Amino acid sequence: DERQQQLIEKINSLRKKKNAIILAHYYQRGEIQDIADVVGDSLELARRAQETDADIIVFAGVKFMAETAKILNPDKKVLHPNPESGCPMADMATVEGVLNLKKQHPDAIVVSYINTNADVKTVSDVIVTSRNAVKVVKKLDAKKIIFVPDQFLGSYIAKQVPEKEFILWKGFCPPHFNLTPDQLLALKEKYPDAKIAVHPECNTETVKIADFVGSTSQIIEYATTCESKNVIIGTEVGLKHWLEKINPEKNYIFPVNADYCGTVHCCDMKKNTLDKIADVLENETNEIVLPDDIIQKARKPLDLMLSIV
Ligand code: 13P
Ligand code: SF4
């Protein structure tokens, strides 16, 4: 509509004037994906944040993602459209708890999912994303791994790397956890030829029935190129917008219903809006500010990940 068009024009002129870049995760609202300079999964967004020569990064994602961009770019201004957009799973892990586990298992190293707050990254040895986790963990010398905070991604990795021992933090992603195998199997009954692709944040029972398991970008690649026209997708519903945009020939089936019950829907990801993006660009508010020592300590495990893959 006309108001949205005006907002987009405002965002475009501000980002040009201020040499700003807008990074957005695939779970963002469709209208944000449409105006972003880069849309990506956690790994791609971290890399793009590291490579950019923009002066301002507007991060349309949840807080740990904007923090990661700041840690990789301490001299840049990183703006978060809505500071209330956090990740409930990241909030499940604490520094104290991780230090306790380290004490109990002095021979283990701490592998943290990128979905952790900056303080937890400072007590981690290496960071992983769902895309590179198996690769990174295989390359580590340590035989014993403390994995924080996603128990389901952790047990998925543990199955792929049976030679190592895993101690799992008991965190989980509420939207992915709630997706049951039955919901996907009911869709499969309707579309018997369909392939099922899910995110490894889903619970183990759901992962078990999938034809493909991968990060958001890996699901995109699989769904848009696999032989079957119908693909049932077990991840956040924001991905539908992107899939339909890049390959509208296929039929992407998400477990959706009107009141979001039964849908993989991350309320936190949806807290960013075009209005808020225009607002932070104009007023340079909601800047991510982290103490220097946190930035330095949290950067080490991130750099290690980026040097491995
Ligand atoms: P990826 O984009 O790395 O697959 O992560 C999914 C997610 O839950 C982000 O919060
Ligand atoms: Fe966190 Fe899950 Fe939302 Fe990703 S989808 S931000 S892991 S709650």
Residue with tokens 């101690």: 167
The confidence band for 309, taking pLDDT boundaries of 50, 70 and 90, is confident
**Sign of the four-CA dihedral 38, 213, 62, 148:** negative
Q: For residue range 7-54, what is the model confidence (pLDDT) as tens digits?
A: 999 999 999 999 999 999 999 999 999 999 999 999 899 889 989 999
Is the distance from the beta carbon of residue 269 to the nearest atom of ligand 2 less than 6 Å?
yes
Atom of ligand 1 nearest to the CA of 216: 4
Q: What is the pLDDT, as a whole number, of residue 304?
A: 96
Report the alpha-carbon distance of residue 33 to residue 52 in Å, rounded.
18
Q: How far is CA 36 from CA 58, 105, 125, 165, 264, in A?
A: 9, 43, 32, 40, 23
pTM: 0.96
Q: What is the CATH number assigned to the segment(s) 90-172?
A: 3.40.50.10800
Domain 2-86+269-289 carries which CATH code?
3.40.50.10800
CA 2 / ligand 2 centre spacing (Å): 32
pLDDT band at residue 153, thresholds of 50, 70 and 90? Answer: very high
Closest by Cα among 110, 115, 108, 146 to 130: 115
Mutational pocket test of ligand 1: of 23, 26, 27, the residue with most ligand atoms within 8 Å of the beta carbon? 27
Helix ranges (H only) for the chain are 2-17, 30-35, 42-51, 63-72, 95-104, 118-122, 133-139, 151-160, 174-177, 181-190, 204-208, 216-225, 239-246, 274-283, 292-308
- Residues making up the annotated binding site are 25, 42, 87, 113-115, 130, 173, 199-201, 216, 266
Residue to substitute in 59, 207, 212, 216 for testing ligand 1 pocket (most ligand atoms within 8 angstroms of CB) = 216
The answer, yes or no, to whether ipTM is higher than 0.95 is yes
Q: Cβ(115) to ligand 1 under 6 A?
A: yes
pLDDT tens digits along 119-132 = 999 999 999 999 99
Query: For the chain, what is the mean pLDDT?
Result: 96
C-alpha closest to that of 74 among 228, 223, 291:
291
Nearest-10 crossing angle of helices 274-283, 2-17: 30
241-300 residue pLDDT tens: 999 999 999 999 999 765 556 689 999 999 999 999 999 999 999 999 999 999 999 999
Topology of the domain covering 175-253: Rossmann fold (3.40.50)
Q: Taking residues 135-140, report their average pLDDT.
A: 97
Q: In a mutational test of the pocket of ligand 1, which residue from 33, 41, 152, 198 has the highest number of ligand atoms less than 8 Å from its CB? A: 41
Distance CA 273, CA 239 (A): 16
> And the tokens for 245?
């945009």
**Can you give the pLDDT at residue 261?**
61
- Read off the pLDDT of residues 180-208 as tens digits, 9 standing for 90 and up: 999 999 999 999 999 999 999 999 999 99
What number does the ligand 1 atom closest to the CA of 62 have? 10
- Location of each CATH 3.40.50.10800 domain in the chain: 2-86+269-289, 90-172, 175-253
Alpha carbon distance 195, 52 (integer Å)? 37
